Amino acid sequence: MSAVELDERLVPGGAPAERLDKVVAGLFGVSRARAREWIAEGRVRVDGKRAPKGSPVQAGARISVERPPPDQPAPQPELPIRIVHADAHLVLADKPAGMPSHPLKPGERGTAANALVGRFPELAQVGPSPREGGLVHRLDSETSGLLLAARTEAAHSMLRAQFTARAVDKGYLALAAGEIHAGGEIALPLLHDPRDPRRMQAASDATYAAEHGARAAVTRFLPIERKSGFTLLEVEIPTGVMHQIRAHLAFIGHPLAGDALYGGPDLPGLPRHFLHAARLAFRHPDGSRARYESALPEDLERVWTTL
């Protein structure tokens, strides 16, 4: 447990004895559910001692709470992230490899959301999940490229609706093992691999997919150029399932270069999987059609040119 703030308050004199969770909720202005979370996590003390959520609390008792870090990403404007475009409605950034999209737990730092909130503070208040800092989609930590955030609730709702409706053009550049001579489409649902929770697994059996709650996923690919037993692909995904491109290409026997999790081969000078979010096109909140592109970053360009 990592507390960032100690808050201490007294139960008013003359107050009737009440359950601890109700007292904490009233004194600190949080829901009963949040109060119970704090008590279960050992953040609450009554006169210096821990107590269960249902224990009666008398008037004059001293209640102290070790508040957890806020759910919103801590502002980190110093983090290296390139702003591709910003206007009154949205921010488009070029995320470097090795940077998570947003915190997975309160207080986590070093993510794209931390960087963006540091430069556009209003993002911390946008969207249903405080930790996402206004982001309307995500990229894997080791995937570089275009990441979109909304600056207003109206823009967030409008952009998210387009992702849900598969109306966003999401294009990637990927280096796959093996020679691929024709384009194709992989339309197989994906689910978490029961043997390894870090991986996703393509389900070719419809009954198995339905029984295990697999999510629909479609990946389209087109070969651009072949070199030394590898193929540079342009990939488009109307859906957006975790590890979708990685899992689908591995399923057809062409895992990404550098993707050890899915059996991809190593390449000199490539410390991550070769995948870059190179294109985003969508309907802008102002009604126009927006399209943005990002060239291969230096690390991937170097690997490709020296292959």
pLDDT tens-digit series, residues 209-260: 898 899 999 999 999 999 999 999 999 999 999 999 999 999 999 999 999 9
Q: Scanning the structure block, which residue is given the tokens 């690919």?
A: 221
pLDDT at residue 298, as a whole number: 95
Residue 3 has pLDDT above 80, yes or no: no
| Average confidence score pLDDT of the chain | 93
Report all structural domains of the chain as residue ranges with CATH numbers, in order of start. Answer: 5-67 (3.10.290.10), 69-165 (3.30.2350.10), 166-307 (3.30.2350.10)
Which are the contacts of 111, defined by CB distance < 8 A and separation ≥ 6? 73, 99, 100, 101, 102, 103
pLDDT of residue 4: 53
pLDDT of 67: 82
- For residue 71, indicate whether it is catalytic: no
State the pLDDT at residue 7.
Answer: 87
Say what the pLDDT of residue 30 is.
86
Q: Would you mind telling me the total number of residues written for the chain in this entry?
A: 307
CB 59 within 8 A of CB 12: yes
Q: Is the pLDDT of residue 1 over 60?
A: no
Residue 304 has pLDDT above 50, yes or no: yes
pLDDT at 13: 84
Residue 289 above 70 pLDDT?
yes
209 Cβ contact partners less than 8 Å away, ≥ 6 residues apart: 189, 191, 203
Contact 234, 222 (CB under 8 A): yes
Summarize the confidence of residues 20-48 as an average pLDDT: 91
Torsion of CA 93, 96, 99, 102, to 10 degrees: 10
pLDDT of residue 2: 44
Task: For residues 85-90, give the mean pLDDT.
Answer: 97
Confidence of residue 201 (pLDDT cuts 50, 70, 90): very high
Q: Quote the CA–CA distance of 44 and 53 in Å, as a whole number.
A: 10
Q: Under a CB-based contact definition with an 8 Å cutoff, are residues 146 and 112 in contact?
A: no
Strands 18-19 and 190-192: unpaired
pLDDT digits (tens, 9 = 90+) for 141-194: 999 999 999 999 999 999 999 999 999 999 999 999 999 999 999 999 999 998
| Catalytic one of 94, 140, 169, 299 | 140
Q: Measure the CA–CA gap between 186 and 220, rounded to whole angstroms.
A: 6
User: How far apart, in whole angstroms, are the C-alpha atoms of residue 25 and residue 296?
Assistant: 51
Say how far apart CA 12 and CA 107 lie, in whole Å: 32
Residue 126 to residue 134: CA distance in whole angstroms: 5
Instruction: Report the predicted TM-score, pTM, of the whole model to 2 decimal places.
Output: 0.79
Which of the pair, 96 or 34, is modelled with greater confidence?
Answer: 96
Residues above pLDDT 90, as percent of the chain: 77
> How far apart are alpha carbons 154 and 183 in whole angstroms?
38
- Map tokens 């008590």 to a residue: 39
* pLDDT average, residue stretch 24-41: 90
